């Protein structure tokens, strides 16, 4: 299951992680985000133990969203060693997301 990441936990959960981290920036009111949500959950299960998969609610965690220039949601960022190494804006298929995350394992 995807982890809830907040402004307060971002440093520890994402930037300090020794595994690649996929972060889904989303909001409750966002239709495309609701489409992407179940796909992110499936990716979280598939990559358990190999990567961290989390979600940031942009309405409740505005600092991280501002820090990474999130203008459109859903936006998925992939981090490795504390750096953004890939980005997906909008809804993408499970295959595309898994392929991008696999490239950073």
Residue 31: predicted pLDDT: 98
Tens of pLDDT along 54-103?
Answer: 999 999 999 999 999 999 999 999 999 999 999 999 999 999 999 999 99
Instruction: pLDDT band for 22, please (50, 70, 90 cuts).
Output: very high
Residue 9 lies in domain:
3-103
Query: Is residue 81 left, alpha or beta, with left meaning phi > 0 and alpha meaning psi from -120 to 50?
Result: left
Active site amino acids: 30, 33
Name the domain count of the chain: 1
- The three-state secondary structure class of 35 is helix
pLDDT one-digit tens code per residue, 33-62: 999 999 999 999 999 999 999 999 999 999
DSSP H helices, the chain, are: 10, 31-46, 62-67, 94-102
Domain CATH for 67: 3.40.30.10
């Amino acid at each position: 299951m995807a982890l809830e990441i907040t402004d307060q936990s971002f440093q520890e959960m994402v930037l300090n992680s020794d595994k690649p981290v996929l972060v889904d920036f989303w909001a409750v009111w966002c239709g495309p985000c609701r489409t992407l949500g179940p796909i992110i959950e499936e990716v979280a299960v598939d990559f358990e133990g190999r990567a961290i998969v989390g979600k940031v609610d942009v309405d409740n965690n505005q600092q991280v969203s501002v820090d990474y220039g999130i203008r459109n949601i859903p936006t998925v960022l992939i981090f490795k060693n504390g750096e953004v190494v890939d980005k997906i804006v909008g809804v993408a298929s499970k295959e595309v997301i898994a392929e991008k995350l696999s490239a950073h394992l």
